[in-house]
Amino acid sequence: MSLSAYFVINLILALLLYLYGRSRAIAFSSSRKLFATKGYFGLHNLLVAFVPSFLFVLIYTLAEPGMIRYLVQSALPSVLDVEPESFQFIYNELLNVHAEIIPFDASNTTHTLGLAVYVGAINTVSISKMLLFGSIVLIATMYALYRTNPSFNARVHAELMIKWILMLLSMISVITTFGILLSVLFESIRFFGQVSIFDFLFGTQWSPQTAIREDQVGSSGAFGAVPVFGGTLLIALVAMAVAIPFGLFSAIFLSEYAKSSTKDILKPILEILAGIPTVVYGYFAALVIGPFIRELGDNLGWQLTSESALAVGLVMGVMIIPFVSSISSDVISAVPMSLREGSYGCGATKSETIRNVVLPAALPGIIAGVLLAVSRAIGETMIVVMAAGLAANLTFNPLEPVTTVTAQIVTLLVGDQEFDSAKTLAAFALGLVLFVVTLLLNIYALHVVRKYREQYE
């Protein structure tokens, strides 16, 4: 039975129970005062009938391949001679034969006997799925029927169930975060098995080329990540040097000086900047700003490349202006009017008031906005890939081409790669460090925001 069939059956049953609960409740509402309105009896039954069996089907379906494999693995040796190490190979062949990717060969005992075991396993798993589903549905139905009586407080139970369902759903994003972290962590550990963590974190040479064959020319690779992180840092610095003043000043203008009609026009336009795809920023940086900087250099008599940290940083800075300005103007507007009036009342001018009262009061929120923008800048990939170059230069000169963590991850993973070579695994190690850095930045930013919130409530 397919997944959608289970779903439809489940849904129909839940709707029937909903209608039953509702109509029963209507019937006995005439005789006695109810704890809950009739809708809650229906809702209670609906949730009882739907949620547990739905979750069961979902989880069981996810576990199915594993279960089948386990059954085949334990049953196969009784009919075939299987070396433990060759099981994976045979199992893959069985999968392909069953899916008719490999033609069935009647003379091959692996095909005949193995396939029988495989099909048997599939049947066992799907029959037990049906049986378990049936019994869960049966228990749920009986429970719902038993509960549909006037003395049952359906409202309290239904509300409680809603709470648990919402909690479950909100956990999914948390679980996903941990899942990503773990997968990156495990690959990184494999990487650090080949390259020492000390060399990775403190080495200043980055040339992630490993020899594929023994006799190949080329080094064993150097995985010192300092130039890569240096490049990220340099670009982020340039970007913040653009985004902080422009973002902050436009936020001050928007929330303190602009008339509301001006603000209504300007603010959405500014926020459009955040909606432009980064690829578009990328070719803007690569095709307009980069060559412009090079020509400017030519006129001044400097030999510059069109790929530079400056070009990327400038464009990235423009891109994150809305992050800084939007959050800053929100927190500036959130500074109570009474504080401004207190300052005006002392005879302060507008700019004195902003400088001495509004900005200090809004500072924590502004810092939080800037930190979020920084983590955005560090994680930005597309602009860098297109306009920064790939040379891992350890430099503080923004006119030179640099590379960043994200750009390196892209180049390491694009193309045909062995997935267990140090070269590919290095991408995960870079990703892990990036993840940790942005996570810390975000946590700190949220902490600052929370502290700020407490101040005025």
Partner 1 sequence: MDKPIFQVKGVDVFYGDNHAIKSVNLDIARNEVISLIGPSGCGKSTFIRCLNRMNDTIESARISGEVLLEGEDIYSKEMDVVMLRARVGMVFQKPNPFPKSIYDNVAYGPRIHGLVDTRSDLDDIVKESLQKAGLWEEVKDRLTAIGTSLSGGQQQRLCIARTIAVGPEVILMDEPCSALDPIATAKIEDLIDELREKYAIVIVTHSMQQAARVSQRTAYFHLGEIIEVGDTDQIFTNPKERLTEDYITGRFG
The residues of the shown chain that bind partner 1, judged by CB under 8 A, are 259-260, 336-349, 352, 356-357, 360-361, 455
Report the nearest approach of partner 1 to the CB of residue 304 (Å).
Answer: 47
Distance of closest approach, residue 330 Cβ to partner 1, in angstroms: 18
Among 228, 224, 9, 250, residue whose Cα is nearest residue 134: 9
CB of 342 to partner 1, least distance (A): 4
Give the residue with the Cβ less far from partner 1, 301 or 345. 345
Q: Which is nearer to partner 1, 33 or 259 (CB)?
A: 259
**CB closer to partner 1, 298 vs 352:** 352
Instruction: Tell me how far, at minimum, the Cβ of 176 lies from partner 1, in Å.
Output: 39
Comparing CB distances to partner 1, the nearer of 132 and 348 is 348
Shortest gap between Cβ of 397 and partner 1 (angstroms)? 41
| 304: three-class secondary structure by DSSP | coil
Q: In terms of Cα–Cα distance, which of 409, 403, 414 is closest to 430?
A: 409
Tokens at 358, concatenated: 């509004």
Q: Of 18, 27, 26, whose CA–CA distance to 45 is shortest?
A: 18
Q: Strand pairing partners for 207?
A: 222
Are 42 and 19 a contacting pair, CB within 8 Å?
yes
Whole-number minimum distance, CB 362 to partner 1, in Å?
Answer: 10
**Three-state DSSP state, 223:** strand
E-assigned strands of 146-210?
206-207
Residue number with CB closer to partner 1 (149 or 349): 349
Q: Give the nearer residue to partner 1 in terms of CB position, either 85 or 457.
A: 457
Judge contact between 207 and 228, C-beta under 8 A: no
Shortest gap between Cβ of 353 and partner 1 (angstroms)? Answer: 9
200 vs 203: CA distance, rounded Å? 6
* Encoded tokens for 438: 């942005």
Q: Give whole-number Cα distances, 155 to 34, 41, 53, 148, 264, in Å.
A: 10, 7, 22, 12, 44
Q: CB-wise, 220 or 455, nearer to partner 1?
A: 455
Please spell the DSSP secondary structure of 70-99, one letter per residue. HHHHHHHHHHS---GGGHHHHHHHHHHHHT
